[in-house]
Structure 1
Amino acid sequence: MIKAIIFDFGDIFVNLDKPATLRELKNHKVENFSDAVVKNNLEYEKGLKSSDEFITSYIKEYSHLDREKITNSWNAILRDFPEYRFRFIQKLSEEKKYKLILLSNTNEIHIDRIKENVPFFEDFKKCFDAFYLSHEINYRKPDREIYEFVLNRHDLKPGECLFIDDTKENTDAAAALGIHTWNLEPTREDIIDLFTTKKELF
C-alpha cells in the first residue's frame, strides 16, 4: 500500500529544455565543459558552493563571460510551469490520502528564477509535507544517501513509497532500494495521469 508519493520537480511539474544551457553557452563560445566545471556544477547542486562562488568559478574558467551571461545561460533550461499541474497536486494535497514529498536536484539560481516567474510557487510548495532541494540538504540523486535520507526522515518503508522522476538513472537507484517508481517520459506522459498510469499501485 502506497503511503507516500515522492515527486521530482523538473519535467514533472516545470517543463525543461535540458540542452538549452549548453546551447546558450556555445553562443558565448563555450564549447566543452572541463572536468573542473563539471565538478563545480555538481558541488553547486549539492549546496557545497554559494551562487557567488559558482559564478566566480565560471568566470575564472571562461574569462570572457560575465555574471549576467552565466546566469541567463544557466537559467535557459527552465521553461514554463503549467498551472494545471499545480491544480493537480493542490487537489491531491487537499485529499490528504498520501504523504507528498518533493525531491529535486536543483540549485539556488534556478529556484530563485522559478520564484520570480511562477506566481503560485509558494502555494505549490505548501502542497507538500516536505520539500527537499538538493542544494539545501547537501544530497543529490541518484546517490543512495538521498533516498535513505527521505525514508529515515519520514519513517517510511521503501515498499510504501512511489518515486516519480523523468531520469532513469534516478528511478533505477530508488528501485534498487525497493521503492516503487515511475520513470515518467515527459514527451508522452504527464503527472496528472498518475492514477491511470500507475493504477496497479493504488
Structure 2
Amino acid sequence: MMMISTLFLDIGGVLLTNGWDRKARRLAGETFCLDYEEMDERHHLTFDTYEVGKLSLDKYLDRIVFYEERPFTRDSFSSFMFAQSRAFPEMIELVSHLKARHSLKVAAVSNEGRELNEYRIDTFGLGSFIDFFISSSFVHYRKPDADMYRIALDIAQVVPEQVLYIDDRPMFVDVARDLGIQGIVHTTYEQTRDKLASVGLT
C-alpha cells in the first residue's frame, strides 16, 4: 500500500461551518423580514450556477433578494452572508499539524461560490496550510462530478492511492472512492482524528 502523501478536504462541514446553508438562509429571512420560502425556492433555482462560477454574487443576490426594492442595502445583506461562517479550530489545528509533521500536500476540494470562497480563505487563513484550492467556482465543476477529483489529482500531481479525502457528505466520499481515493466521512473531530491515526497520520 502506498503511503498517504496528500489530503483532500472539504471546507464547509470539515474546517468551517457551511457558508450559506438552509439554517443561514432561514436566519437571513428572519433578520431581513423576507419570505423565506420564496427566497429559498429562488436560491435552489440559481445557486448551482453561482457555485460553478457562472454567476457573480451580485447577480445571485439580484435573483434571490434584489429583484424588487428592499429597505436594506446589498452590502448589508452580503456582509450578513459572510458573517455566518465560523471556524472549527480543532480541525484546522489537526490538519496543520499533520501537514507539518508528515510533509503532506493539502488540497481543498469544495463547492463554493467565488466571493464567499475567497472571503473564507482570507478570513480564516486557509492558505497558510492548504496548498491548492479546487473550488467549484474556480474549475467550473461541482461535486459529486468526478472531474472535481480528477482535476485535484492532476493539480496535486499524485495518484489516487496516495490521497486521503475527508468530507462530511457520504456520497462525495463514495464518488472519490470509485476513483481509488480512500475516504473518511467526517462526523466529529474525535472520530476523524482516530481514523487518521489508523492510517499512520498522528
TM-score (ref. length: structure 1)? 0.78
**Is the contact made by 2:14 and 2:168 (CA closer than 8 Å) also made in structure 1?**
yes
Say whether residues 1:67 and 2:70 are aligned partners: no
SS in 2 for 1:5: strand
Say whether residues 1:20 and 2:23 are aligned partners: yes
Kindly state the Cα deviation for residue 42 of structure 1 after the two structures are TM-superposed: 0.6
SS in 2 for 1:11: coil
**Is the contact made by 2:132 and 2:156 (CA closer than 8 Å) also made in structure 1?**
no
One-letter amino acid of the counterpart of residue 22, structure 1: R
Say whether residues 1:114 and 2:84 are aligned partners: no
Kindly state the Cα deviation for residue 77 of structure 1 after the two structures are TM-superposed: 4.6
Q: Structure 1: give runs of 5+ residues left out of the alignment.
A: none
Kindly state the Cα deviation for residue 30 of structure 1 after the two structures are TM-superposed: 2.7
Kindly state the Cα deviation for residue 73 of structure 1 after the two structures are TM-superposed: 5.8
The structure 1 segments of at least 4 consecutive aligned residues displaced by more than 6 Å after TM superposition are none
Matched with 1:101 is: 107
Kindly state the Cα deviation for residue 128 of structure 1 after the two structures are TM-superposed: 2.2
Matched with 1:151 is: 153
Matched with 1:176 is: 178
In 2: Cα distance, 1:90 partner to 1:58 partner: 37
In 2: Cα distance, 1:100 partner to 1:49 partner: 28
Identity fraction in percent: 19
Q: Structure 2: give runs of 5+ residues left out of the alignment.
A: none
**Is the contact made by 1:58 and 1:70 (CA closer than 8 Å) also made in structure 2?**
no
**Is the contact made by 1:93 and 1:127 (CA closer than 8 Å) also made in structure 2?**
yes
In 2: Cα distance, 1:5 partner to 1:115 partner: 17
Kindly state the Cα deviation for residue 141 of structure 1 after the two structures are TM-superposed: 1.1
Paired residue total: 192
SS in 1 for 2:171: helix
**Is the contact made by 2:8 and 2:109 (CA closer than 8 Å) also made in structure 1?**
yes
Name which of 165, 168, 174 aligns with 1:166: 168
One-letter amino acid of the counterpart of residue 97, structure 1: S
**Is the contact made by 2:168 and 2:185 (CA closer than 8 Å) also made in structure 1?**
yes
Kindly state the Cα deviation for residue 115 of structure 1 after the two structures are TM-superposed: 5.5
In 2: Cα distance, 1:69 partner to 1:62 partner: 16
Kindly state the Cα deviation for residue 60 of structure 1 after the two structures are TM-superposed: 5.7
In 2: Cα distance, 1:117 partner to 1:4 partner: 24
SS in 2 for 1:31: helix
